[in-house]
Structure 1
Amino acid sequence: MKVFLSADIEGTAGIAHWDEAERTHADYAEFRNLMTAEVVAACEGARAAGASEVLIKDAHDSGRNLILDRLPPYARIMRGWSGHPDGMMFGLSSDFAAAIYTGYHSKAGSEANPLAHTTTLRISRLLLNGEVASEFTINALCAARHGVRSAFLAGDAEICADAGALVPGIRTVPTMEGFGRAALSITPARARDEIREGVEAAISALAAGPTAQLPSLEGPFEVVIEFVNATDAWRVRWYPGAYASGPRAVGFKAKDFFEIQRALRFLTS
């Protein structure tokens, strides 16, 4: 049984500032370590539930964050960015039993995490069919496109709630919640314990019979990207099929969700 793990950092227990997520800053080393520890805990939970392999996508910033020598021997690691529209889910395919997520965070426009964003800080909000979307929204729909259920997520409290609304039955571990520029977090040790136990329970439940539902992929779809700066909106408007959708906003419509992913790959770059 293979499990896919998409690992981000801004929802890692304890994180509160962008300096802690930037590889060029001294604070990064500590939180790179904590990100890795949460990933290892998720791997251990998947292994305890019978996973023979965990494919990890290092999905933060450069895609080169995890401390490789800490990863278990049954794991494989996808580092860097291929340019494929699957993005944070690249490497996933239909032969995986489940997708799990660590270090995930609230969507752009939210006040629930000091580091809330969607893909890039140049975006103020991303809407899918009129609803404000997160990175998890896009990634869970990408997993569903491959026929893979999203079984577990660890991250801030709001993204856990959003995940539960999009994917009924998904198990979550809320690691933190934001208050302006402050964050109230559980300890990293507690987060690791809960992630390990939560992933094991989630994967075991899937093995006994699907619990986490597949979100609907019935089109048509419309994505609208609201940019912070009007010049970004003007620039990406030249993508084939894109159109102005209000001040600083660009829209794109498609019947197939992969076409939405392909458009996002270029509209957000």
Structure 2
Amino acid sequence: MKIYISADIEGVTGVTHWDETEKPEEDHKKFAHQMTLEVKAACEGAINAGADEIWVKDAHDSGRNIDHNLLPKNTKLIRGWSGHMYSMVQELDETFDALMFIGYHSAGGTNTNPLSHTMNTNIDYIKLNGEYLSEFLLHSHIATYLGVPAVFLSGDLGLCDEVKKFNRSIITIPVKEGRGNSTINIHPQLALELIKDGVEESLKKDFSLYEMELPREFNLEIKYNQHSEALRAMNYAGVDQIDSKRISFKTKDLMEVVRAIRFLL
């Protein structure tokens, strides 16, 4: 069984402030270590369920947060950014049996994580078909397009609740809850135990339960923090301006949405 894990940090237990997420900051090392341990726990759960090949994308900021030495030997770690439009699931293709998300967080525009954002902190939000678009939903749509089921997610409670709206069969482990600029976190060791067990459970279920359908049409809306960015976005073919800070882009092809986001942010 071949598994793909995409890992972020803003949904890791304990992470509350931007200083804890950025590599040059002193606080980063401690929380990057917890991010590594949560990924390790996911790998161990996958191995217990029969996984013999695991690919991990370090999908936070520099893409250089995870200590590969702490992961099992059957893992391949993708570090840095290639520029591929799949971004946080770079190298994902039809050969994988399942996709998992570790340390994921609520979408930009929501109030369920003090670090809520979608892909870029320089924008206010992205909406898809009128709903706030999270990094989970964007990349699980890519997986659906490729025929790879998303089976597991750990992160903040707000995002876990969102995941259940799309498919209640996906196993979710909320390790924290956002409250204003604060977070309420479960113990780091408990998070590791729950992630390990949750991943194992997710891979032992009937994979047909994870099937999701893509929308037939896509209406993308982006609200920038600066009006000049909305004006710049008008150079992308098919973009319409809604107001001084908001643009829209419509298509029936998911890959055109993915491509547009890559170039419009």
> What's the TM-score bracket when you normalise by the shorter of the two chains?
over 0.9
Aligned mates of 2:232, 2:215 — CA distance in 1: 30
Aligned mates of 1:218, 1:19 — CA distance in 2: 37
Q: CA deviation at 1:229?
A: 1.2
Matched position secondary structure for 1:211: helix
Match status 1:79 vs 2:90? no
> Identity, % of aligned pairs?
40
Correspondence 1:15-164 to 2 at 5 A? 15-164=15-164
Point out where structure 2 has 5 or more consecutive residues left out of the alignment. none
Aligned mates of 1:37, 1:10 — CA distance in 2: 14
Counterpart contact for 1:150–1:167, Cα < 8 Å: no
Match status 1:232 vs 2:221? no
Q: Specify which of 241, 262, 267 is matched with residue 264 of structure 2.
A: 267
Letter of the structure 2 residue corresponding to residue 210 of structure 1: S
Aligned mates of 1:198, 1:57 — CA distance in 2: 19
Once the two structures are superposed, what CA deviation does each residue of 1:111-167 show, in whole Å capped at 9, x if it has no partner? Answer: 111111111111111110111111111011011011011000000001001111122
Once the two structures are superposed, what CA deviation does each residue of 1:167-216 show, in whole Å capped at 9, x if it has no partner? Answer: 2310000011111111000011000000000000001114xx522232x2
Q: CA deviation at 1:228?
A: 1.2
Q: CA deviation at 1:60?
A: 0.5
Matched position secondary structure for 1:210: helix
Match status 1:241 vs 2:238? yes
Point out where structure 1 has 5 or more consecutive residues left out of the alignment. none
Aligned mates of 1:28, 1:237 — CA distance in 2: 37
Q: Which runs of 4+ in 1 moved over 6 A?
A: none
Aligned mates of 1:221, 1:183 — CA distance in 2: 33
Q: CA deviation at 1:70?
A: 1.0
Q: Specify which of 200, 209, 219 is matched with residue 216 of structure 2.
A: 219
Matched position secondary structure for 1:199: helix
Matched position secondary structure for 2:177: strand
Matched position secondary structure for 1:95: coil
Alignment: residue pair count: 265
Correspondence 1:171-182 to 2 at 5 A? 171-182=171-182
Which segment is superposed worse, 62-71 or 97-106?
62-71
TM-score, structure 2 as length reference: 0.97
Match status 1:252 vs 2:256? no
TM-score, structure 1 as length reference: 0.96
Matched position secondary structure for 1:164: helix
Q: CA deviation at 1:253?
A: 1.3
Aligned mates of 1:167, 1:267 — CA distance in 2: 29
Which segment is superposed worse, 217-226 or 3-12?
217-226
Aligned mates of 1:54, 1:245 — CA distance in 2: 43
